[in-house]
Amino acid sequence: MSILVIAEHDNASLNPNTLNTLSAASKIDDDLHLLIAGNNANSVVQEAQSIAGVSKVLSANHESLADGLAENIAWLVKGLASNYSHILAPASNYGKNFMPRVAAMLDVMQVSDIIEVVSDDTFVRPIYAGNALITVQSSDTIKLITVRSTAFDALAAEGGSASVEEVEFDQAFDRVEFVSRDVTVSERADLSTARIVVSGGRGVGSQEDFSLIESLAEKLGAAVGASRAAVDSGYAPNDFQVGQTGKVVAPDIYIAVGISGAIQHQAGMRESKVIVAINKDAEAPIFQIADYGIVDDLFDVVPQLIEVL
């Protein structure tokens, strides 16, 4: 049987995490179908057709699918499920929102946030903020899985020529309506995919001084992240949060500035290739996982870094 992957997109372009999710799926089976659930998302369908390894693109086009409402996507996916052995989606906020809804409707116990495919029914996922890894074997007939995108290399975006099949869908759950979206506009690289991430924590001290983190990121062409403490204090918007309950990142370089390194923060960045910590507290737990540390005042070190770079 084939595998269905649900693409994440904004009706204009595909989110790169879709390529990582497909990559995880390809370790289970090589007949991959990709569902684009959206509204006038023709450019996304075209993009999907070119992905190497996708044999068929399913296109469901309806205004009820325009804004990613979980209730509607769940109905759509449930209707398609009987054709598939596995259904996968990225473990992003998008996938986390609708996939458990599909799972319950199908009476399936979802496997969340997998980091390894052991076999077609056995998967590894982190628990306790990544402080333990659990290997589970699913006995459900259809397996529903969300994928941690940083744990799988992306499939190639080019080289494929998948066919397209239109899927009829016109349902709309009448007790939920999309009202508005407030997207953080940043000139910086995307946090989830950037090669370098500079993150600020409580030590930065204020929203004004957070511009120092921005300046260093600009100099490095890096994305900007933040610890939960910095977000809770209003120094940075919520979508900057890296950690157990925020984004999980694994860049080549992660620079933690004024971040103590609580367990829940480490959960979001400990797979980074090289970790740099700048903190005036030599006892901060972040130094236990950092490859390079500077024990000094960030307000001295960061301007020096900007100057030397």
List the one residue from 19, 194, 294, 298 that touches other proteins (CB under 8 A): 294
Residue 276 sits in the site that holds other proteins (CB under 8 A): yes
Closer to other proteins by Cβ: residue 81 or 162: 81
Q: Is 141 exposed, middle or buried (0-12, 13-18, 19+ CB in 10 A)?
A: exposed
Residue 290 Cβ vs other proteins, minimum distance, rounded to whole Å: 5
Is 88 a binding residue for other proteins by CB under 8 A? The answer is: no
Query: Quick one: which H or E segment has residue 166?
Result: strand 163-167
C-alpha to C-alpha distance for 120 and 104, rounded to whole angstroms: 21
**Is 240 in a helix, a strand, or coil?**
helix
CA distances from 265 to 109, 132, 285 (A): 28, 15, 11
| 102 counts as binding other proteins under rule CB under 8 A | yes
| Smaller CB separation from other proteins, 137 or 163 | 137
Angle made by CA atoms 244, 242, 27, in degrees to the nearest 5: 65
Residue of 136, 157, 164, 167 that binds other proteins (CB under 8 A) = 136
First to last CA, the chain: 53
Read off φ and ψ for residue 72, nearest 5 degrees.
-80, -45
User: Near other proteins by CB under 8 A, which window of 31-39, 42-50, 202-210, 270-278?
Assistant: 270-278
Residue 113 contacts other proteins per CB under 8 A: yes
Number of residues that bind other proteins (CB under 8 A): 89
Cβ-proximal residues to 141 (8 Å cutoff; 6+ apart), any chain: 108
Q: 215-244: which residues touch other proteins (CB under 8 A)?
A: 228, 231-232, 237-239, 244
Q: Is 293 in the site for other proteins (CB under 8 A)?
A: yes
**66 binding other proteins? (CB under 8 A):** no
Residues 145-204 touching other proteins, rule: CB under 8 A, are: 173-184, 192
Please report how close the Cβ of residue 218 comes to other proteins at its closest, in angstroms.
Answer: 15
- Residues 13-32 within binding reach of other proteins (CB under 8 A): none
CA distance 146 to 194: 21
Q: Residue 24 Cβ, how far from other proteins at the closest point, in Å?
A: 17
